[in-house]
Each structure stands twice: as C-alpha cells, then as structure tokens.
Chain A
Amino acid sequence: MTLRTSLLRSALSEDALTWLDAAVDRIAADPRAIRQVFPAARRRCGRHRIDDHWTVDDAARAVLLTVVPPADLALELVGLYRHGDRAERRAVLRALDVVDGGAAGLTLVREAINSNDIELIAAALGPFGARALPLPEYRQAVLKCVFNDIPLDRIAGLPQHADAELARMMADFACERVAAGRGVPADIWPIVRAFPAAVALQRATIELDTSSTIPARREAAARALADFTGAC
C-alpha cells in the first residue's frame, strides 16, 4: 500500500471507504466505469485536506485512476478532463504525478496552463508537468504564475530548472512593474539573484528609476533594488 493510499484510508469514513472499494472494483471490471465514479468521488469521500499536498477528493480520484489499465488510461484521462468540472480537472492533473499519463498527460498540462485558472495552472505544474514540459514552455508557465500571483513554492521544478533565461525574464518583469509604479512579487528574487550576469541590464534600469520624477515609480524602484541586492 502506498503512502498516499494509507493516508487516504486513514482520512476516510467507513461509508466512504466502502464506496471507494466498490468503485475500484467497478473500474477493475470495466475501465469505463470511471466516467461515473470519478465525478461522484468528491461528495462520496469528502474534500478536506490530508497533508500539504493532497486533499481527500484529489487522492481518492487518483486512486481510481491507478486502477485503469495502461491501454485505456490516455482515453479516460482526456475524457475526464474534457468533461470535468474544476475540481475534477484539478484531480486529473494531480494524478499525473501518480499514473503515467504519457503524451496525453502533457497535452492536458498544456491545456491547463493555457486556461488561466490559477488552481489548474498550479496543479499542472506538479512534478509531472515540471518534468514533461520543454524548458521554454516551463519558463513561460513560471512567469505566468508570477503574473497571476501563484506562489512559486506551490509548483515543482524550482530551483533546479531555473536558468539564466528564466532569471532574465523575471528581471524584465520586475522592470515593467517598477516602470508602472507597482510592486514586484517577492518570490522572483532568489531566481534573479542567482544569475547576476544575466540581469545586469535590468538592475541598471531599476537603479536609474530610483531617481524617477514620478513618486510611485521612484518608490517601486527603491523597493525592487533592495530586493535585487538582497539587502532586505
């Protein structure tokens, strides 16, 4: 029994456990049964949090997907996502860290990142997404997280996938925010600071902005520069 399954079992009521076992049996007998039990899992099993990563509904739905034979998995994943509500879609994306979604999984990760739904973007950028996405797409997705105020500690792949190009993109983003007189999300700075050569130009730009005639821009530049140098 995996850690996740044992966690889930300890979190479920007796009724929910009975339901989940029956649902697993139904899928084992006919993989298409997942189309009926997957949507029902949230109200049958609950939605509360088990640990830092899993909620009951996501974990229960992941367990159901582990029962689908590999030959049917891509078809069912795509169908569950296409016809899923938000919680179901999030569960499909989370499950990609547990089942082998292959090329279909990558397609769903891309669709989720394209959606702008912050819950789905964060779920798409789990270990599977971070591993499967080509680096240029991964960088764009990370930047999209920053744009949408998704904390970067909610996504996988950092800092190991951070590189000079990602640092450059983050620093350019900081320049834009400063020019607009707006704040810069704090979690970009460790990446920016790790590649000083790649962001020298942006640093100089922000230094210039500290003497802007526009008060909001001047203040934003001062704050950003302190973060840039790690002075605060």
Chain B
Amino acid sequence: MRIFDPHIHMTSRTTDDYEAMHAAGVRAVVEPAFWLGQPRTSPETFYDYFDSLVGWEPYRAAQFGIAHHCTIALNPKEANDPRCLPVLDELPRYLAKDRVVAVGEIGYDSMTPAEDEVFARHLQLAVEHELPALVHTPHRDKAAGTRRTLDVVRESGIAPERVVVDHLNELTAAMVLDSGCWAGFSVYPMTKMSEDRMVRILAEHGTDRVLVNSAADWGRSDPLKTRRTGDAMLAGGFTEDDVDKVLWRNPVAFYGQSGRLELDDRDHEDTSEFMGNSIRRGGQ
C-alpha cells in the first residue's frame, strides 16, 4: 500500500514515527504551516518555523525515504494577534519556493472579522501564485463555519477544484463536495473522524475529490491513521485500486496542481548532514 499523507505536522513527530510511517507505506507527506500548540508572538519566530518547513524537515524525512512538501500561511488563530500580522507581508517570498505546494492552513478558527480579512487575503495570494489552497474548518460551530468558508471561497474567484476544505465530518462532507472543492478528512484517535466512520463516508460519497489524512501533530494523534484507514477500506469491501486512489492518486492530483511535487527525488543532495546535526547518529 503506497500512502501520501496530505496533512501531517512532522515538526512535532519523532524519527520513530518516520520509521513506522515508512514501514506502513507512507512515501510522501505535505506538512501545512499551522500553530504550534503555544502561541507565537513575533514574525521572526514564524520565519524560523518556515525555515524548518522548507529545509530541516524535508531533510529529516528524506533520511527515511519520505518526500516532504509543505504549505505556507499565517494560520487563522495567530492571525487574530496583531503582533503576528507582519508575517503576511513576507508570505509571497515563501509561496514562490520549491516544494511549497499550497497556501495553507487558512480559514476560520473563531470566525472573527480579522479572520475574514486574512482568509480572503490568503485566497488572493493562492490565485496570484497559482497555488492550491488548504482550508481548515473550525472545531467549534463546524457546520456554520464550513458554510461560511464555502461562501468566502466562492467570492474569492479561486477555482473550487484548487481548494481542499479539511477536517470534515458526516454533516459537512456533502456541502463541500457539492461546491466542487476537495473534501479532506482527518482521522484521529478520539475526535475529528475515525477510520470506520471514514469508510462509511466513502461508501456514501464515493472516492472522487476525497483526501484522507492523519493531521498528526503535537497533540494526541496517530501518524499511521492513513494506513489504518486503508486497511479498514479493504475490510469494508473497497478494492486495492480504491485504496490507492484515495491514499495516493488523489493527493498527487490535488497537490500536483502546484507543479511543485517532487516525488522521485533521487538527486536530493542532502544525504549526510544538516546544519552539522546528523539525525543518523552512530556514524563518526
């Protein structure tokens, strides 16, 4: 089973996770820029974070045979803090980079006026940089938040097939698929979505324009949820080709719209050390 996890925060994960992911079939990931559990309070710490998303983390992933890409944005939660807003002015630099395959995560957290404005501005940046957009939906008031999200997407003029609306559930899947956007599902140990619920949703809505991710991060989460969903699909009567479509071909098709996926990166030059900090300890 080959797996592309289209949404996972590897910055928060260990090398044990990378090893286990590779053993489970994960060969490619997209790491969206998001918050880190604790708030940041100045633009400079974002630049260091972006630096790790375009440098250190791809290097770490490559040691385990996993192709790493990222999405870049000022996330909605921190967009509410005026101290962080100058980040917006530097985003175009990052959106021009190799391996940056979308603008994201953007969208709503608490649905404030500041979030409205920053969300719309990010969608414009996606259009200008010819990138897809990864849109997070709020944990609270999800159905209303998702409707409002789709309104903003529609008004922005971005092509719906270049947008994935993420963290969906039984109540929000249909409206997103009907809008022409891609539907993202984050399979979690306890909360957002389970693998069995995911299989039922796939049975109801089909496998077109659906992305399944682990969204594993610094909280309680499981980077192998993509594999477990694949196994649950097979147990639930889906074919291996269905699994390959959902867990590999769909994310390749969606993020491939950026023109910046590097899935067969044999000439990646970073095989020895990064910043003098080899994670392959045990050598000289």
| A interface residues (Cβ-Cβ under 8 A, vs B) | 35-40, 42-43, 47, 79, 82-83, 85-88, 115-119, 148, 182
Contacts and interface: CB of A to CB of B under 8 A. Distances in A.
B98 A85 contact: yes
Name which of B51, B98, B259 has the most chain A CB atoms within 10 A of its CB.
Answer: B98
A66 to B, nearest CB: 20
Nearest to B97: A39
* Closest CB pairs A-B (n = 8): A116-B276, A39-B96, A85-B54, A39-B97, A83-B93, A117-B275, A116-B275, A36-B96
Given A35-B93, A85-B54, A86-B270, A115 B275 contact: yes
B274 interface: yes
Contacts of A42: 98
Contacts of A115: 275-276
A116 B274 CA distance: 8
A36 B276 contact: no
Interface string B248-284: 0000000000011000000101101111110000001
Nearest to B276: A116
Contacts of A37: 96
Contact of A118 (B94, B267, B276): B276
Contacts of A88: 97
B92 A83 contact: no
Interface of B: 47, 50-51, 54-55, 90, 92-94, 96-99, 259-260, 267, 269-270, 272-277, 284
Contacts of B269: 119
A182 B260 CA distance: 44
10 contacts: A35-B93, A47-B267, A79-B93, A82-B47, A83-B93, A85-B55, A86-B55, A116-B273, A116-B276, A117-B273
Contact of B98 (A39, A79, A118, A182): A39
B96 A40 contact: yes
Contacts of B99: 85
Contacts of A39: 93-94, 96-98
Contacts of B277: 116
B96 A148 contact: no
A209 B259 CA distance: 59
A79 B259 CA distance: 25
A83 B90 contact: yes
A46 to B, nearest CB: 11
A223 to B, nearest CB: 16
A38 B269 CA distance: 20
A47 B98 CA distance: 12
Nearest to A121: B276
A16 to B, nearest CB: 14
Contacts of B51: 83, 85
B92 A85 contact: no
A85 B47 contact: no
A36 B275 contact: no
B92 A36 contact: yes
A90 to B, nearest CB: 10
Contacts of B97: 39-40, 85, 88
Given A39-B93, A83-B93, A85-B55, A148 B98 contact: no
Contacts of B47: 82-83
Nearest to A35: B93
B273 A43 contact: no
A87 B270 CA distance: 11
B273 to A, nearest CB: 6
A35 B275 contact: no
Contacts of B284: 182
Contacts of B55: 85-86
Contact of B276 (A35, A38, A40, A148): A148
Contacts of A40: 96-97
A86 B98 CA distance: 11
A144 B195 CA distance: 51
A27 B277 CA distance: 36
A148 B92 contact: no
B49 to A, nearest CB: 12
Nearest to B48: A82
B274 A117 contact: yes
Given A118-B273, A118-B276, A87 B94 contact: no
A62 B274 CA distance: 24
